[in-house]
Amino acid sequence: MHNIHIAGTGIWFPDEKISNEELINSYNSYVDLFNYENHSKIQEGLLDSMEYSSIEFVEKASGIKSRHVIDKEGILDINRMMPRVNNEHEDRLSIHAEVGIKAAKKAMKQASVVSSDIDAVIVGSSHSARNYPAVAIEIQKELAVNGYAYDMLVGCSSTTFAINNAFSDIASGLAKTILVINPEISTPAVNFTHRDKHFIFGDGCAATIIQKDSSSEKSFRILDRKLFTQFSNNIRSNYSYLNRAAIDAKDNDDLLFHQYGRGVFKDVCPLVAKLISDQLESNNIDPKDISKFWLHQANGKMIRLITSKILGTDDFDSTIAPMPIINFGNLASVGSLFAFNLDNDLEAGQKGVICSFGAGYSVCSLIVEKT
């Protein structure tokens, strides 16, 4: 068995925070404005009127009570309804690199490594800052890391898929220590004028040091990895460099994050529960011997249902499946790492599961053991 560890993790999130009350007040004000400005078209049947949302609806649908965002003012401005960001520019760090470096420094400190110890940088996220050059290479330059670096995209599974790639590179002898960074600046991809989508995402970033023979006090050995993909359009964004040349114009909502939520819930919950259950069985591990399930923070219902399916009961201690989604919202691929980073005080020998899942569909599950 390879002696490869998660040697340390670090997280970053913006200081600005939007409560459900603030978000709903803004959204409902936008509804009033839209219905007023389009009164004639609505009366003529050319447009549907918009409906109010509520705190009760948001919390029942998602379990989310607040989210951290890069620009609160822009999102709550009913004449804008999106964060204010700068375009990519050659003379300054990209926002993905900027937040990635902040999380990376925390992970490096926890793992007791310096830049010269790192052999590679892998950046995995749901949204890319640009097509090229790779953000990972930009971060590599800023941190003065030798070796190689690359970006990868696997939707909300990007974090664990990137950790899997780091594990494979180390196991093959390409590297001994790899820095994995997952910047998820998701709010620019959200339609804040859409009742079913505007409350879902927050912004954040996680970083992980994957290392062979780690002696870090926070180290977890990676015991097993299991990956699965199956194509589906139920979670999708059609934003692309092809859009500017497209002869069939797309509306803005189609270019942003969109999903068929009920289909995702129906498909993904049993898929993930079975994958983890099968993985535990193949490793001769009783699900009841798992101390923590650090799952993708899609929504509270999915986390509870998947955990209950794995354990075979609805009667379990809720702390076994941490839910930072309550305060941070859905953080795309870094939700499982936020859960892990914020709640991993295990004793030596105790085991946990880190699992990300999402668009694709894609799933990657890691069984880890505290050393």
Determine, yes or no, domain membership for 86.
no
Determine, yes or no, domain membership for 347.
yes
Determine, yes or no, domain membership for 91.
no
Determine, yes or no, domain membership for 235.
yes
State which residues form the domain around 276.
Answer: 221-370
pLDDT tens-digit series, residues 208-229: 999 999 989 999 999 999 999 9
Catalytic (active site) residue 269: no
Structure tokens at 297: 């923070």
CATH number, domain with residue 286? 3.40.47.10
Determine, yes or no, domain membership for 168.
no
Q: How many domains does the chain have?
A: 1
pLDDT tens-digit series, residues 317-352: 889 999 999 999 999 999 999 999 999 999 999 999
pLDDT tens over the chain, length 371 residues: 789 999 999 999 999 999 999 999 999 999 999 999 999 999 999 999 999 999 999 999 999 999 999 999 999 999 999 999 998 888 899 999 999 999 999 999 999 999 999 999 999 999 888 888 999 999 999 999 999 999 999 999 999 999 999 999 999 999 999 999 999 999 999 999 999 999 999 999 999 999 999 989 999 999 999 999 999 988 888 888 887 888 877 667 777 787 777 888 889 999 999 999 999 999 999 999 999 999 999 999 999 999 999 999 988 888 999 999 999 999 999 999 999 999 999 999 999 999 999 998 999 999 999 99
Determine, yes or no, domain membership for 310.
yes
Determine, yes or no, domain membership for 48.
no
Catalytic pick among 156, 205, 355, 364: 156
Determine, yes or no, domain membership for 180.
no
